[in-house]
Chain A
Amino acid sequence: MGETANPVWITGLGLLSSAGEGAEAHWAAMNSAKSSNIDSENFSPYMVHALGDVEWTNQISRRDMRQMEPWQQIGTYAAGLALDDAKAKTDEELCARMDMIVAAGGGERDAEVDGLIIAEARTANDRDAMLTERLSNDLRPTLFLAQLSNLLAGNISIVHKVTGSSRTFMGEEGAGISAIKTAHSRIASGQSDIVLVGGAFNGEREDMMLLFELGHYVSRGAFLPVGQRTGDDAGFNLGSIGAFLVLESESSARRRGVEPYGELAAVAADHGTRNDKAASSRLTAALEKVNDGNINAVLSGATGVEDITAEENSWLNDSLPHLSVRGFGNHTGHGIEAQFPLGIALAAIAAKKGAFYDPVYAEEAPLDGSPQSILVTTLGHYRSEGLGLVKPVSN
């Protein structure tokens, strides 16, 4: 692994999930076996890691709130937290030149309108005519803007005035991986000084859940740790997650006098079909690109989807045996596009504390001493694999 010309520091974190908001809430949640906000009633037989009470107006005006669907609110809120944390929020000049990469899905629907149309379609003489009439009359004109993938970034620009550049990546877990990787590359190569990067997902939506349950990727029944889910229990519990980071060149952070959480030392990603342990071969190649020889802790974004979670587990055992591996999906649920950014953020918290998360589940081993380099993994539920390496910054 070569040294980059510009070390990439993590200087701000914005986290919002069932664990609460901010670094300390997530540190505490990751060290506890009890998930704070499990909702197993509203979506039965599925459970979700739901958001608790959020004081939205801390980051978003009521006027702007009305223009957003929940996933955009979650993301815009988390982005605001990250900017605050990096002492960047009130620096207009900085925000005006700050680059932004957002990993987003989208398409949150008006479930009530959709439900009425589905029911009416069963008996409609002319289904097309009914659909046209219903959609023309019942869709809120502004709903479209709350559904468009790039309008999370658009809302962040409007609310927080981040306007250097704005790109939205789509494609489930891979979008979050590509967003972090591209942000890292931009800073390491000198194309950017500072990038706001992250993703958001609202797990408390049946319309979103349906997209994954079509392929039977959503876990049913009571909570089990991701590594123990099989059969109908296999799959993920969705989580409402907003995870944003401010990544910054070391020189920019020093100029601004901002303390880093840690360094994002490297990111590698790949994709392909998953026959014959192909994902393991790709991970091995990716690990070679990020491994600095000091990895002693792993934060796994494992989904609980049976085959790929088992494959990750055995790959880790073969490639990096006897390490402390913690599955963060157990604590916050699965956040799709937000999953990899969340993992990088959790690693940054540990790097700053000089301590790793305590084992919570049976299969997890403790880490003696401090984390040196923390490997973050995210293997998409269907496609895409990413690895990131976070390490402490020594003074």
Chain B
Amino acid sequence: MNTKDHRGRPIVAVTGLGVVSSLGKGKEENWRKLTAGESGIHEIERFAVEGLKTTVAGTVDFMDIETMSAPELSLALAEFAADEAVAQADIDVGDFPGPLFLAAPPVEMEWQHRFELDSELPPGEIEGYKRLLQAARKERHQQMFELVQFNRTADLLAEKFGTKGLPISLSTACASGATAVQLGVEAIRRGETDTALCIGTDGSVTTEALIRFSLLSALTTQNENPTKAAKPFSKDRDGFVMAEGAGALVLESLESAQRRGAPVLATIRGCGEKADHFHRTRSSPDGSPVISAVNRALEDAAVSSDEIDYINAHGTSTPENDRMEYNSLKEVFGDAIHQIPISSNKSMIGHTLTAAGAIEAVFSVLTLQHGCIPPTINYDTPDPDIPLDVVPNTARQAKVNNILSNSFGFGGQNACLVLSNEFG
């Protein structure tokens, strides 16, 4: 079998998958619930929601961590997903033979830590950060220090899994998970490594994070029925639902996978990217950067638009994103776009932000493997301006060979992946 692609680069296979979301832990539980059209969105219990405009989220509340903090949860989620992926790829935990690319939420000191530092000093005249600095100066706070280091999550994962070299932590906002996969693909294509561990994780639903998105009017306020709050492509959609989770993929050159006799679950056939310079949170009105990103992914994969059997949408359920995504896809696919099934996993798991692109890549590989397309749930009132086949409410059996997976983020980030079960 040919192990090089149309440009003579190593074909990149997926040999391991792992996932955790508000639906549960692991591929089996997630896939079962995803294809049954179940929602993981619920009323927030982690913190008091009185006074908040949005009170629902897809938090993951079943991980075993000592005290809730965003970096600790992000680490636990990533570790779970990576464990599952590495085991499937039949690679020893502790001796992963390639680099780590980790999409992780930016780290900040949390309120509990500011309050704790403040309480360490007797009342005094100095206030604010000068006072917190004074408390920090009095004695070393090693644990708190480590928690606010951006490289800590990647550092601990690299140690546990034994990945090689300096691990890369990255952020391209809500496209981060796809970027992590893209970086892995590029490293393998350069011939730097045979394998890469690519993870997207996000456990950062906190009061402040929620308020920040709320202040930007990005979140849904349909709190009455949490499982109905995320409704991508519906006329009455009014914002996304924040959520948590992690997705992990072991990428490997097809040659290496075959040599090892590792399972080849799919290939990452192409990646495309294009930044937008229009606005910090909004896309160019003509959609040109998204159109470019999709076209570049198709070109990179040497797949024509009529070979795409299914699109795993970014589909956040914000009024603007879903309209923009449709308009841009229509430019690329023409009228054929109305016949291609396209669904949004976010209707069930919410928007897992930094992790979304990786989780959706995992679900895309499962779609290829199972020949079954997960639905877009809560699709009761179609938006007449978005006449797409969104696989409404019920999963669909279908032969799927090539999938386009879209990820877009604040800061003009657009990344697209083409996943395939055709090798070579």
Partner-contacting stretch, out of B56-64, B165-173, B319-327: B165-173
Asked whether, in the complex, the Cβ of A171 is within 8 Å of the Cβ of B154, the reply is yes
Asked whether, in the complex, the Cβ of B150 is within 8 Å of the Cβ of A172, the reply is yes
Report the interface size for chain A: residues with CB under 8 A from the other chain: 86
Asked whether, in the complex, the Cβ of B211 is within 8 Å of the Cβ of A136, the reply is yes
Cα(A287)–Cα(B289), bound, Å: 41
Contact of A213 among B133, B151, B211, B280 (CB under 8 A): B133
Asked whether, in the complex, the Cβ of A169 is within 8 Å of the Cβ of B275, the reply is no
Is A222's CB within 8 Å of the partner chain B? no
Asked whether, in the complex, the Cβ of A128 is within 8 Å of the Cβ of B207, the reply is yes
A386 and B280 in contact, given A100-B275, A118-B127, A214-B144 (Cβ under 8 angstroms): no
Partner-contacting stretch, out of B43-51, B72-80, B229-237, B243-251: B43-51
Asked whether, in the complex, the Cβ of A163 is within 8 Å of the Cβ of B277, the reply is yes
Is A26's CB within 8 Å of the partner chain B? no
A66 to chain B, nearest CB (A): 11
Chain B interface: which size bin? 35 or more
Smallest Cβ-Cβ distance to A98: which chain B residue: B275
Q: Which of B170-226 contact A (CB under 8 A)?
A: 170-173, 179, 183, 186-187, 189-192, 207-208, 211-216
Asked whether, in the complex, the Cβ of A174 is within 8 Å of the Cβ of B411, the reply is no
Cα(A45)–Cα(B208), bound, Å: 31
B174 to chain A, nearest CB (A): 10
Contacting residues, chain A, for B166 (C-beta < 8 A):
174, 177-178, 181, 269-271, 384-386
Is A56's CB within 8 Å of the partner chain B? no
Contact of A271 among B165, B179, B413 (CB under 8 A): B165
Is A369's CB within 8 Å of the partner chain B? no
Is A50's CB within 8 Å of the partner chain B? no
Cα(A141)–Cα(B218), bound, Å: 11
Q: Which of A216-261 contact B (CB under 8 A)?
A: 216-217, 220
Asked whether, in the complex, the Cβ of A171 is within 8 Å of the Cβ of B151, the reply is yes
Asked whether, in the complex, the Cβ of A189 is within 8 Å of the Cβ of B171, the reply is no
Cα(A220)–Cα(B51), bound, Å: 43
A105 to chain B, nearest CB (A): 6
Cα(A126)–Cα(B158), bound, Å: 40
Partner-contacting stretch, out of A32-40, A78-86, A144-152, A360-368: A144-152
Asked whether, in the complex, the Cβ of B150 is within 8 Å of the Cβ of A115, the reply is no
Asked whether, in the complex, the Cβ of A139 is within 8 Å of the Cβ of B274, the reply is no
Contacting residues, chain B, for A104 (C-beta < 8 A):
171
Asked whether, in the complex, the Cβ of A118 is within 8 Å of the Cβ of B108, the reply is no
Asked whether, in the complex, the Cβ of A168 is within 8 Å of the Cβ of B144, the reply is no
The digit string for B117-145, where 1 denotes a CB below 8 A from any CB of A, is 01100010001111111001100111011
Cα(A298)–Cα(B166), bound, Å: 22
Smallest Cβ-Cβ distance to B140: which chain A residue: A216
A292 to chain B, nearest CB (A): 20
Partner-contacting stretch, out of A106-114, A314-322, A347-355: A106-114
Q: Which of A117-142 contact B (CB under 8 A)?
A: 117-119, 121-122, 126-129, 131-133, 135-136, 139, 141
Cα(A178)–Cα(B187), bound, Å: 13
B215 to chain A, nearest CB (A): 4
Cα(A135)–Cα(B107), bound, Å: 18
Cα(A148)–Cα(B410), bound, Å: 9
The digit string for B10-41, where 1 denotes a CB below 8 A from any CB of A, is 00000000000000000000000000000000
Is B360's CB within 8 Å of the partner chain A? no
Asked whether, in the complex, the Cβ of A154 is within 8 Å of the Cβ of B169, the reply is no
Asked whether, in the complex, the Cβ of A170 is within 8 Å of the Cβ of B52, the reply is no
Contacting residues, chain A, for B131 (C-beta < 8 A):
118
Cα(A147)–Cα(B280), bound, Å: 12
Asked whether, in the complex, the Cβ of B273 is within 8 Å of the Cβ of A165, the reply is yes
Contacting residues, chain B, for A90 (C-beta < 8 A):
none
Asked whether, in the complex, the Cβ of A175 is within 8 Å of the Cβ of B151, the reply is yes
Asked whether, in the complex, the Cβ of A162 is within 8 Å of the Cβ of B410, the reply is no
Is B350's CB within 8 Å of the partner chain A? no
Is B398's CB within 8 Å of the partner chain A? no
A206 and B190 in contact, given A148-B411, A150-B172, A150-B409 (Cβ under 8 angstroms): no
Smallest Cβ-Cβ distance to A189: which chain B residue: B190
Contacting residues, chain A, for B154 (C-beta < 8 A):
171
Closest 10 CB pairs of A and B: A154-B411, A115-B128, A171-B151, A215-B145, A206-B129, A214-B145, A166-B275, A141-B215, A163-B275, A269-B166
A-B contact pairs, 23 of them (CB 8 A): A104-B171, A105-B106, A107-B109, A118-B128, A132-B51, A139-B215, A148-B171, A154-B280, A157-B277, A164-B274, A165-B273, A170-B106, A171-B149, A171-B151, A172-B151, A174-B167, A175-B151, A175-B169, A206-B130, A211-B109, A214-B145, A271-B166, A385-B166
Other A-B contacts than A135-B208, A154-B413, A216-B137, 7 sampled, CB-CB below 8 A, are A106-B108, A131-B207, A149-B171, A170-B106, A171-B149, A189-B190, A212-B145
Q: Which residues of B contact A (CB under 8 A)?
A: 47-48, 50-52, 104, 106-109, 111, 114-115, 118-119, 123, 127-133, 136-137, 140-142, 144-146, 148-151, 154-155, 158-159, 165-173, 179, 183, 186-187, 189-192, 207-208, 211-216, 273-281, 289, 409-413
Q: Which residues of A contact B (CB under 8 A)?
A: 45, 67, 100, 104-107, 109, 111-112, 114-115, 117-119, 121-122, 126-129, 131-133, 135-136, 139, 141, 143-145, 147-151, 153-155, 157-158, 161-172, 174-175, 177-178, 181-182, 185-186, 189, 191, 206-207, 209-217, 220, 269-273, 380, 382-386
